[in-house]
Amino acid sequence: MIVKVLAENTTSSEALGSEHGLSLYIETETHKILFDTGASGLFAENAEKMGVDLTRVDLAVISHGHYDHGGGLKTFLGINNRAKIYLHKKAFEPHYANRPGGEKAYIGMDKSLLPNERFVFCGDRFVIDHELELFSGVDSKRLVPSGNTDLFVKDGDAFVQDDFAHEQNLIISENGKTLLIAGCAHNGIINIIDQFKAEKGCLPDYVIGGFHLYNHGTKQNEAPNVVDEIGNILLETHSQYYTGHCTGIESYNRLKTIMGKNIDYISTGKQLTIYM
């Protein structure tokens, strides 16, 4: 399996742009997948430079209803006229974030894209086929990102704390092995892995995604002791982790110190070969 990072907060090449967002292109035995579209059309510009033909993508997944993961969706719809796009049924709810000075900024999806017959709205568990499935509804029991307290859903005139019911995770299964992909892990990467184990009866062989250990709005990192605890738990799973985006460089460096070869950073332009 090949995974190419089309957009991330950092870049591995001067020829490729970066932004606060995430977009991955994945080739499996039977699919060409786009997982998230970053914050803008940048993912498509980078894809062209990286030799990725987005017209051949046969399905896309949007992990949750924030602009930094679905902001390029309009661009993708204009490039690709056939792929189904799998979103949680709550993805288009009005999402907001605290900003300095007490302002709440809209960080949700572009509602002008609705309705669209290519959108497939998913619930807590959605099986696409023998290779792909989505799950959400994660019980956020422990080590939930502190940055979640600055994120909201608007209900009428009231701003309600976001429970991230709209966040879904992708499982890819091939040859008896599994890859788990999480967009931002707002529900907590440990809780997501716990639910994966409860549903699949095993731990994932590989995990890719942001762990939300950096608050983009306040520019603050997760507490070092929390990051250390997460790192020690992840190390015990013996899975291979690839992270970036909302994990933050400082938190990643702490995880790397604890986990060593079991974790690596994914920046724009990086290509992973996953042996399934």
pLDDT tens for 117-160 read 999 999 999 999 999 999 999 998 999 999 999 999 999 999 99
| pLDDT the model gives residue 102 | 80
Percent of the chain at pLDDT above 90?
96
Strand order in the sheet with 2-7: 119-122, 84-88, 59-61, 32-35, 23-27, 2-7, 271-273
| pLDDT the model gives residue 95 | 98
In this predicted structure, the answer to whether residue 218 has a pLDDT above a threshold of 90 is no
Taking the C-alpha atoms of residue 60 and residue 8, their distance in angstroms, rounded to an integer, is: 17
Is this prediction's pTM over 0.95? yes
In this predicted structure, the answer to whether residue 56 has a pLDDT above a threshold of 90 is yes
Taking the C-alpha atoms of residue 33 and residue 86, their distance in angstroms, rounded to an integer, is: 11
In this predicted structure, the answer to whether residue 222 has a pLDDT above a threshold of 90 is yes
What single-letter amino acid sits at 4?
K
Chain mean pLDDT for the chain: 97
Q: What is the pLDDT of residues 231-266, one digit of tens each?
A: 999 999 999 999 999 999 999 999 999 999 999 999
Q: Name the band, by pLDDT with cuts 50, 70 and 90, for residue 219.
A: confident
Q: Name the band, by pLDDT with cuts 50, 70 and 90, for residue 10.
A: very high
User: Measuring CA to CA, which residue among 76, 43, 31, 21 is closest to residue 172?
Assistant: 31
In this predicted structure, the answer to whether residue 226 has a pLDDT above a threshold of 90 is yes
Residue 93: DSSP 8-state: S
| pLDDT the model gives residue 87 | 98
Q: Name the band, by pLDDT with cuts 50, 70 and 90, for residue 193.
A: very high
What single-letter amino acid sits at 161?
Q
Q: Which domain holds residue 47?
A: 2-273
- The CATH number given to whatever domain includes residue 263 is 3.60.15.10
- Count up the domains in the chain and report the number: 1
